[in-house]
Structure 1
Amino acid sequence: MPTLQQRGKVFEANSHDDKDLGFSHSEAMIEHATFQSNAETPPLIDEAKVLRKMDLHLIPILSLLYLLCFLDRGNIGNAKIEGLLDDLHMTGAQYNMCLTVFFITYSTFELPSNLVLKRLRPSIWLPTIMIGVGVVMTLMGIVRNYHGLLIARIFLGVAEAGLYPGVAFYITMWYCRHEAQLRQAMFFSAASVAGAFSGLLAFGIAKMDGVAGLEGWRWIFILEGILTVCVSIAAFFVISDYPATASFLTEEERAWVIARLRAQYAGNVEVSERFQWRYLWQALSDFQIYLSLIVWYGIVCPLYGVSFFLPSIIKDLGYSSSNAQLLTVPIYVTAAAVAVVSAWLSDRAKQRSPFLLFHLSCIVIGFTIVIASAGKGVPGVVYAGIFLAVSGIYPALPGIVTWLSNNLAGEYKRATGMALQIGIGNFAGAMASNFYRTQDAPSYYLGHSLELGLAVAGLVATICLRFVYQRINKSRSAKGTEGLVAEEIARMGDKSPAFRYIL
């Protein structure tokens, strides 16, 4: 394993990148002095130990925040089967509209939020937006009509917009390309755990029907909103900003983390990046953003269709509301486990597309089973098809997020590209909110067929994206970097002939 002195050579060459990773110029000089003072007897860095420390200090709080975020986003599906529509005198179409408007503001505010995060401290920005989520969620518990719920969902979209793209980018500021998917999956698995947790919580909280004169579904919103506010306040004191200021790392460990992050791009990152509009244009004009968006739609439309309508789909198979809530639990728990195992294997193999192809195939096969079995009086087979589809959905999403982030070089371009992928991609939620109509119950042929078609499109786009990456890598290997100076290469980012796309 390289010594700190060896790592320090890489760090020394990049210590003037004064703002990236939250590392100021004065701090760079302090760390540089540390290297010099320890040059004769450099300590060894235990890579596994440092990564473990990072995992323990970063992933649990991020996962908890996203669990609560996804819980607050999707618990309207649990509230629906506990009487929300009847008590607010809403139609199925109005319910779908409440789901749709959330994604309009949610998608619109994701890119601005990521740019704000790049300028502000994550330990301030992420807890602040989650407090907003908790407040809006609590207020949803006291709405009295359709319009009140509609307005609350609009503001919930504004509040939640920054968390997922913000954390997805934040993880890339700590971990190297071949380590990122496991951490993305550990973080995103909170979404599938939230699905399981949501069913259990709704099952228990619904028993509070009549307490303080409020219906059970209102208590689902109120208690989960208060919990979100409490955890978000604690997060101010738990979240670390960037490696350069991480108090849980020693000086040597902080410098080593920064050095390895720099080294992985081998000069393909422009020195001292500041936001310029050309970074936005670079992302907007990059082919890989748009192909990855097709893959994203093939994953996220089924994801939101399931998260919003799974309790209703299971209930319409002939189960009671309570049993429908409980039957969602094993599906989500299995999906979380598969996501983590798949990500671990993907990081070890340093390959993304083979695993994406496998999980997208599971989605396609799962919905095919559901469509073939729906309305045939075999609820167990329909349930099995949904089980398979969900087991493909949740591992696939961190896969496509990590794949794109691995192949975008330059922090502002990566922040912008990831926000565009997630922001534009989350209009899929607005689409999926209208796939499952009340009049289509219990077979829901329209919804399942649309999800199947999008999953097939995602499968094809994944194959195309891998093929294009392979062609470009081969071409760059043949051409080399002859005739280009280091400054030109650095300005080119992931378009540099020295940069290789991860497949």
Structure 2
Amino acid sequence: MSSSSHFRTSSDRSDRSDDEKNIGRVDIYNADLPADPDAHLTAAEKAEIDRKLVRKLDIQLIPWLCMLYLLSFLDRTNIGNAKIGGLQKSLGNMSTGKYNAALSIFFVSYALFEPLANVLLKRMRPSIFIPIIMYEYPSQLQVPLLIIKRVIWGACMTSMGYVQNWNGLMTARFFLGLAEAGLYPGVNYFLSCWYKRSEFGVRAAIFFSAAAVSGSFGGLLAAAITKMGGLGGRPGWAWIFILEGLLTIVFGILSFFFVHDFPDTATFLTEQDRARVIRRLKLDNQSSAEHEEFKMAYFWSAVKDWKMYMGMFIYMGADMPLYAFSLFLPSIVSGMGYKDATTAQLMTVPPYACAAVLTIIVGIYADRTGRRGLCNIFIPMIGVAGFGMLLGSNQPHVKYAGTFLGALGIYPCIANTISWVSNNIEGSYKRGIVLGFVIGWGNINGIVSSNIFFQAPQYTVGHATIMAYMTASLVLGSTLMHFLLKRENAARLAGKRDYLVEGLSKKEAEALGDNRPDFLYTT
């Protein structure tokens, strides 16, 4: 009997929700489903065990990863705080063009290394990859080498506090991008291997909210650190790099003990809990929790998938504005008339704090409703309005209000877009490759972010470019993606894709990933 014979008729499907239809058919395709360790329990008892298991995962996985990303985003964007602290003047009156080039060089190395990073994360161990970013499979003889590599990212940051000229700054920024590459797509892919699709979005949102928190924290920290100017013969802006780099080194070393591996090998889980995690993911139409050997077929499957290219187009509409906003917000605020460096640093804090809260709210809403596409369509409109206020007004208070709306329209869309793409790609290597390309392409557009703010204090080109990106890529791109996915779901529910599994075994059907007829997309 072919696999397709297990499907219900179209009339059977029409009167139930998408989730009910999916759950009813999932066992047909899930080969090697682990035995249920809770089969003897009641439904209420199973639900309680599942709730405690998810809470255990949250406690073990989320806080430390958030701290790492906070440091990552702090290290890549604190150059904006250093700028209003006197960076350009100290390095030989560096021109605006050279300063923008120093911003751009980070994104070159950072973006080019992204796709490879996710493949290596799967092939190696996250507990080794995430702390060190650079790769060596561990052995007793390699432990000292691993400890040295673990501090490369922080060392690059610290070295920026000792540069004497533009060439030194360019070199440090290039290697900082290389060292940080892989963390954001790697962690999002890593989390997608632990949580169900309906649980992933809020975790990705909480993780990414660390970027907004880093903006607030960075402004406060920079305001305090710049007071150290003259200590040790270093200017205040240099101490921003030195102290934040040293902090990163400390957390890099500690991460060796706090970052875990994938569910099938995680040491903090009991054997029963490992079975529960793998089982709940398989019942959610995911196979990413278990070991999978890399094959080039996964790469070709990714690059042939139209959803990857739509994801790249949509994500650049969020990522370019994100970097433009975070790199230049101190300069924008300073241009409003808040000339004192400390005041300008402190004024950058509230917009980020508000963005962090909305990011989590949108993550919770999208998880509960599955309406990730609609969030991506309407939330950016808030940001477009905010940058319109920055573009069209000369009143400091109006412009400052615009920075709030700008942050609110950008930050939630980063996590929501990545969750949306991840939800709709099945197969661990394929998902990792797709996320690497999507995030890598978004970061390449960081080069655009670095070169559009050059008309102080109005920054007409900068604000207009951000509005164009958000409107074309985020709003219109998400609208198109939403309707294409809905159309494909309708075809699958009508049985028009059942032919894809005719004559296939369970294992062969499972290997189809998101091309399986029972895999319903998140729209």
For normalisation by structure 2, the TM-score amounts to 0.86
- Give the letter aligned to residue 98 of structure 1: A
Please tell me whether residue 124 in structure 1 is matched to residue 128 in structure 2. Answer: yes
Counterpart-to-counterpart distance in 1, 2:203 and 2:291: 27
Shift of 1:389: 1.2
Tell me if structure 2 keeps the 8 A contact 1:343–1:399.
yes
Aligned to 2:402: 385
Partner of 2:69 in structure 1?
A: 66
Asked whether 1:106 is paired with 2:110, we answer: yes
Change (3 A) 1:146 1:165: same
Deviation string 1:449-472 (CA, Å, 9 cap, x unpaired) is 000000011210000000110111
CA pair 272-72 structure 1, distance change in 2 beyond 3 A:
closer
In structure 2, the CA distance between the partners of 1:41 and 1:125, relative to structure 1 (3 Å rule), is same
Structure 2 counterpart of 1:460, one-letter code: L
CA distance in 2, matches of 1:282, 1:250: 34
CA gap of 1:92–1:343, structure 2 versus 1, over 3 A, is same
Which residue in 1 is equivalent to 2:487?
471
2:9 corresponding residue in structure 1:
none
1:448-463 equivalences in 2 (<5 Å): 448-458=463-473, 459-463=475-479
1:258-284 Cα distance to aligned partner (Å, 9 max, x none): 101111117x88997421112111111
* Structure 1 segment 241-280 matched on structure 2, within 5 A: 241-265=261-285, 273-280=292-299
- Kindly tell me: are residues 474 and 99 of structure 1, through their superposed partners in 2, closer, same or farther at Cα, counting changes over 3 Å? same
Q: Secondary structure at the match of 2:261?
A: coil
Q: Among residues 224, 228, 231, which one is paired with 1:204 in the alignment? A: 224
- Structure 2: how far apart are the matches of 1:329 and 1:500? 41
Amino acid corresponding to residue 213 of structure 2 in structure 1: V
Aligned to 1:291: 310
- 1:227 equivalent among 231, 244, 247: 247
Instruction: Output the amino acid matched with 1:472.
Output: E
Asked if the contact 2:362/2:412 (under 8 Å) is kept, the reply is yes
Candidates 77, 80, 87, aligned match of 1:77: 80
CA shift for structure 1 position 243: 1.8
Deviation at 1:380, TM superposition (A): 0.7
For 2:41 and 2:71, the matched residues in 1 are separated by 47
2:332 alignment partner in structure 1: 313
CA distance in structure 1 between the partners assigned to 2:334 and 2:188 by the alignment: 34
Percent identity of equivalent pairs? 42
Cross-structure match for 2:379: 359
In the superposition, relative to structure 1, how do residues 336 and 124 fare at CA in structure 2: closer, same or farther (>3 Å)?
same
Match of 1:54 among 50, 54, 57: 57
**Which blocks of at least 5 consecutive residues in structure 1 are unaligned?**
1-8, 17-27
SS in 2 for 1:501: coil
**3-state secondary structure, aligned to 2:157:** helix
Give the letter for the 1:203 counterpart: A
Change over 3 Å in CA distance of 1:88–1:272 after alignment to 2? closer
The answer to whether the 8 A contact 1:138-1:221 is kept is yes
Residues 181-217 of structure 1: CA distance to partner in whole angstroms, max 9, x if unpaired? 1000110000000000100010000000000111111
Deviations 1:384-417, CA, capped at 9 Å, x for gaps: 1121010111111000000000000111100100
Q: One-letter code of the match for 1:305?
A: A
Aligned pairs for 1:68-217 within 5 A: 68-89=71-92, 90-129=94-133, 131-217=151-237
Is 1:271–1:490's contact at 8 Å kept on the other side of the alignment? Answer: no
What does 1:345-424 align with in structure 2 at a 5 Å threshold?
Answer: 345-373=365-393, 376=394, 378-424=395-441
Query: Structure 1 pair 40/301, CA: closer, same or farther in 2 (3 Å)?
Result: closer
Structure 1 residue matching 2:511: 3-state secondary structure: helix
Partner of 1:46, secondary structure, is helix
For 1:329-348, what aligned pairs fall within 5 Å after superposition?
A: 329-348=349-368
Q: Which amino acid aligns with 1:231?
A: F
Q: Which stretch shifts more, 84-93 or 277-286?
A: 277-286
- Aligned mates of 2:288, 2:341 — CA distance in 1: 54
The equivalent residue for 2:347 is: 327
Q: 1:256 to 1:12 in 2, by over 3 A?
A: farther
Query: CA 1:60 to 1:39, structure 2 compared with 1: closer, same or farther past 3 Å?
Result: closer
Summarize the Cα distance change of 1:120–1:369 in structure 2 as closer, same or farther, 3 Å threshold: same
Preserved contact between residue 485 and residue 521 of structure 2 (Cα < 8 Å): yes
Structure 1's 12 and 100: CA in aligned 2 closer, same or farther, altered over 3 A? closer
Aligned AA (1:313): I
Given the superposition, is the C-alpha separation of residues 47 and 308 from structure 1 closer, same or farther in structure 2, using an over 3 Å criterion?
same
CA deviations 1:87-124 (Å, max 9, x no partner) are 10111100000010110000011111111111111111
> Does structure 1 conserve the Cα–Cα contact (< 8 Å) formed by 2:281 and 2:289?
no
How far did residue 498 of structure 1 move? 2.0
Report the 3-state secondary structure (helix = DSSP H, G, I; strand = E; otherwise coil) of the residue aligned with 1:243.
coil
RMSD of Structure 2 on Structure 1 (CA): 2.3
* Segment of structure 1 superposing worse, 488-497 or 206-215: 488-497
Choose the corresponding residue for 1:432, options 425, 440, 449: 449
Structure 2 unaligned regions, length at least 5:
1-25, 134-149
Count of residue pairs brought into register by the alignment = 473
